[in-house]
Each structure stands twice: as structure tokens, then as C-alpha cells.
Homo-oligomer: A and B are copies of this chain.
Amino acid sequence: MSDGSVSDGPQPGSPESDGSRGDQRRHPRIGFLLSQLGAHATELFADQTRGLGITPSEAGVIRIIGRSAGISQRALADTLGSVQSRVVALIDRLEGAGLVTRTRSSTDRRVQELRLTESGSSVLRSLRHAAEAQEAAIVDGLTSEQAAELFGLLSKLSSLRGLDAEVHVGYRDAPR
């Protein structure tokens, strides 16, 4: 992901995309900056998970299982905003890598209870450290006042958009 992919999206209106030259851009292009910086943050995060031998998706799975031990694959799919068949493949890999276990529920033998193994928990700890390091890297160059201001504005935007921080990004629009 760190190489030259065409990367769908991150350019909702590039700066001066037309022939009208000069730096008189009528609009702030906050959308463009958000897409660009968001993609950048996302790729930094991907670099870090790659160092741990997992993909960003798998990192998300590990985080969710970490805070909801025993969750079913169905519930995991809902939380991710994904579908069951995708979760099967995801867990297949994480189970094969020894990070997650499947155990049939004793009360409902249809469901697989998902839990982190010891090394799964270790990966989760590494993920948290990586996230903290990344946070520090991102605000590096801003004063703490600026960082606080930025956080406030982004939080406001996020709540205005109805993006609940607890729910996954790809989930807004409901898997039909």
C-alpha cells in the first residue's frame, strides 16, 4: 500500500485542476486536505501494522476481539460493517497465525467464540504503542495549543457528520 497505487478518492477536487492558472483558489479545499491527510494517516498506520505482520483490517479485528472477548463472528461482522463470509477469511488467517482462537459456544453451538491468544494480546499491545507513537508524530510541529484546537475542530466535524467514534467508518451506510 505504500507504493504507487492510484488510490481511489483522495482528491475531491484537486487544487486548480483547470487551466485557470495562478494561486487564486476560490475555496479552502478542506475536503481535499482531509482526504489527503486521512489517506496519509491511514498509510502510516498500514506501515505499522505491516511491521507486526498483519493488515490494517486484521488490526481492526484484533482490537475488537481484544475489547470483546468471546464475540461471535456474526457480531464481529456487524461491528466491522462487513459480512460473515469476509470474517471467515479474516479469522482463518488470524487463527492460522496463532493470534486468535475459535471455540464453539457451549450454550449455542452455532456460534464461534473469538478470543485473542497470548501473542494476539501482545500484538494488540504493540498496536496501541504504535498508535501512540503515530499520534505523537502527527502533532509534531504543532504547538500543544494548536493540537488542542485541531482536535476540537476535528471532533466537531466528526460529530456533525454523525460519525460515532465507536462505529467503524465503513459502517455508516449499512450493509444491505
Contacts and interface: CB of A to CB of B under 8 A. Distances in A.
The count of identical subunits is 2
A45 B80 CA distance: 22
A63 B9 CA distance: 12
Contact of A132 (B13, B33, B44): B13
A39 to B, nearest CB: 5
30 contacts: A4-B83, A4-B171, A4-B175, A5-B81, A6-B57, A6-B82, A6-B86, A8-B42, A11-B169, A12-B41, A12-B48, A12-B130, A12-B134, A14-B165, A14-B166, A16-B67, A17-B67, A17-B127, A26-B132, A27-B131, A28-B148, A30-B139, A30-B154, A34-B41, A37-B157, A37-B161, A37-B163, A39-B42, A40-B172, A149-B153
